[in-house]
Chain A
């Protein structure tokens, strides 16, 4: 749309290169989403968000900036949005999920860096994503070695604040994370010129909890034997949650859930009875990484849950809303976020407990443990996951992949064989 081109030009984007991304999106979206039958009507909202992904939300962020507001870009589910929104700023997810951005990242990063990091750095340095251009400051964190070095490279181009995430879960680590959140508050206050008061923080805790509750409601619908929504559709909703306006996202997701709950009552399922139910575990699937879901769901199975950052890790557990001072609120935020079970922690047995619990709740027939290439942490933890699933008699398939299309046929063969095994 003409308005978008003017905006992208003003953002200093590389329009020619960016146009190559615009060229492939409609076909990929059509193949993965519009080819599905019997989609819920409420998916039209998310269709709109993706269809104009580099237009509608970026324009809103720019409007916010014109009024003096700041935009913070984030890359991890440990970064507490509550603090950013409490300073009348906006947090937006920036994780790159497209192979299109990877070569740009490889100009400055080792090839054996995970595609998510390479894509995120490439999107900034190649000037091909408006969100990366708009964000006034990036909030990084120390969840892996690749990211830690990437922040140093990005900091030469854009202000970056890094949060030091403890890698164990002792009481002193939770306290240390609370201190990091307090430091983020100070940084955000200094950068925005706005004070984070207890009232403001209470409001934003409710706002973000509301988003989590809407996502939990969506995922609850996926526990039903009558499956009212595909895993691919649920995935794109999770992906959009990271950068959409939180209040609007919550409203639209709750509206969709009304429809899904009615579908369950009416016995409307998107798959035939008996379709094998798969849970994906592992590394995040940032937008527009839809490859594995599409392959699973066009191979005779359906994805019912993601134990991922783009999944249950993002919305499970709420921040305690009863605290009345900023200090107590920050402690409550730290406690909630330290309940997320990422492979960067040692030990991380709670993640295995999560997967076993989710497998029961979602009536899972099999698990696919997904690892983005060169993510050493999740790859190593896969050893424990596969062992625990075998002990629990839950079939598990380990997959390593990246953002390229080149392994799609091989993945189809492996996933089809896995589904066939589940069916026999």
Chain B
């Protein structure tokens, strides 16, 4: 699964930031990112997480009553030489 990146999707950025802060407290790796288009057409923030942390993330979500839409598995596709800018 090395080529798969997991993203947590949210209904709004407040829930995203709450989860981010709670995960940081727990020492769980998470990076704020734009929601990948292949995961959702709704733009906004998502959290990149490691597959091995999914259970910890879901526990944190349940414990703190954080709303998430889903955890999406997306093929890794980061290419700094692609030269496709906005």
Contact = CB atoms under 8 A, between A and B. Distances in A.
A1 B43 contact: yes
Most central of A21, A48, A294 by chain B CB within 10 Å: A48
Interface residues of A, number: 46
A266 interface: no
B38 to A, nearest CB: 9
B85 A288 contact: yes
B33 A51 contact: yes
Bin the interface of chain B by size. Answer: 20 to 34
A27 interface: yes
Contacts of B42: 1-2, 4-5
A2 B11 contact: yes
Contacts of A36: 80
A52 B34 CA distance: 7
Contacts of A295: 83
B83 A409 contact: yes
A403 B13 CA distance: 29
Interface in B55-79: 77-79
Interface in A13-33: 19, 21-32
B49 interface: no
Contacts of B43: 1, 4, 22, 25-26, 51-52, 54-55
State the main secondary structure of chain B at its contact with A.
loop
A48 B45 contact: yes
Most central of A29, A31, A295, A408 by chain B CB within 10 Å: A31
A29 B33 contact: yes
Contacts of A412: 83
A52 B83 contact: no
Most central of B41, B44, B79 by chain A CB within 10 Å: B44
A92 to B, nearest CB: 18
A31 B86 contact: no
Contact of B86 (A19, A55, A98, A298): A98
Interface of A: 1-5, 19, 21-32, 34-36, 44-45, 47-48, 50-52, 54-56, 98-100, 288-291, 294-295, 298, 403, 405, 408-409, 412
15 contacts: A3-B12, A4-B42, A22-B41, A24-B86, A25-B86, A28-B84, A31-B79, A48-B32, A51-B35, A52-B44, A55-B13, A100-B86, A298-B81, A405-B83, A405-B85
Leading 8 A-B pairs by shortest Cβ distance: A408-B83, A1-B44, A26-B34, A35-B78, A51-B34, A47-B32, A51-B45, A288-B86
